[in-house]
């Protein structure tokens, strides 16, 4: 009997790279921030605490390398451990950006992570990919092959009809 597994039949599921920045780790916000994505119903596919080397920070933020704040940004991201995460689900990239809120925490709506937990753009506690293509690119940058888990949550049928 010939059967294709559902994961082969399904089209590729969207993934986003979410990172708790060093200020979020130092301020004890790791559990709080992870909770927001967990409670929303996205699927956690990768998770690690990681001290980011300078060259990786520069590669991750390469589109900003001409900006005046770039050197400070690289110092900030490499100033302590970050929490790297890959989250999966339909529409996860845009939805995670909404959960995170505006880049400037003073402009971020209450209820968002930055709106509730941060005050300055240069210390805005969390990163989220800005497009599905960047989600793929960034997960590829921050995770090695084999670091992502292949699993399905028992909650899935209670989240998606
Ligand atoms: P986002 O993280 O919301 O996608 P950007 O891609 O514009 O925002 O910027 C990436 C990160 O660079 C920001 O999250 C912030 O940490 C930093 N950054 C952006 N603009 C500034 C700024 N004017 N001053 C200091 N840091 C900044």
Which residue's CA is minimally distant from atom 1 of ligand 1?
Answer: 103
24 SS3 class: helix
Q: What tokens does 23 get?
A: 């200020």
The pLDDT assigned to 6 comes to 55
The pLDDT assigned to 5 comes to 54
pLDDT digit string, tens, across residues 38-58: 999 999 999 999 999 999 999
Predicted interface score ipTM higher than 0.85: yes
Give residue 130 CA to ligand 1 midpoint distance, Å: 12
Residues catalogued as catalytic:
127
Mean pLDDT by 10 residues, the chain (161 residues): 54 94 99 98 98 98 98 98 98 98 98 99 98 98 97 95 93
What DSSP element (H or E) covers 45? strand 43-50
Task: Please say whether the beta carbons of 50 and 85 come within 8 A.
Answer: no
The pLDDT assigned to 4 comes to 54
pLDDT digit string, tens, across residues 65-89: 999 999 999 999 999 999 999 999 9
- pTM of full prediction above 0.90: yes
SS3 content of the chain, % helix, strand, coil (to 5): 40, 15, 40
Annotated binding site for ATP: which residue ranges? 21, 69, 97, 103, 114, 124
For the CA of 103, the closest atom of ligand 1 is 3
For the CA of 104, the closest atom of ligand 1 is 3
* Domains (range + CATH), the chain: 15-142 (3.30.70.141)
């Amino acid at each position: 009997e010939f059967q294709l597994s559902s994961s082969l039949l399904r089209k590729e599921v969207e993934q986003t790279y979410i990172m708790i920045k060093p200020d979020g780790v130092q301020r004890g916000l790791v559990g709080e921030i992870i909770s927001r994505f967990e409670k929303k119903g996205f699927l956690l596919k990768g998770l690690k605490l990681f001290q980011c080397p300078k060259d990786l920070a520069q590669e991750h933020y390469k589109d900003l390398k001409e900006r005046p704040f770039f050197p400070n940004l690289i110092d900030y991201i490499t100033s302590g451990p970050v929490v790297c995460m890959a989250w999966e689900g339909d529409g996860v990239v845009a939805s995670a950006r909404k959960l995170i809120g505006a880049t400037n925490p003073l402009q971020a709506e209450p209820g968002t992570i930055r709106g509730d937990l941060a005050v300055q753009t240069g210390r805005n506690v969390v990163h989220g990919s800005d497009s599905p293509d960047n989600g793929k690119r960034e997960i590829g940058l921050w995770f090695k092959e084999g670091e992502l888990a292949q699993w399905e949550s028992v909650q899935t049928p209670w989240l998606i009809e």
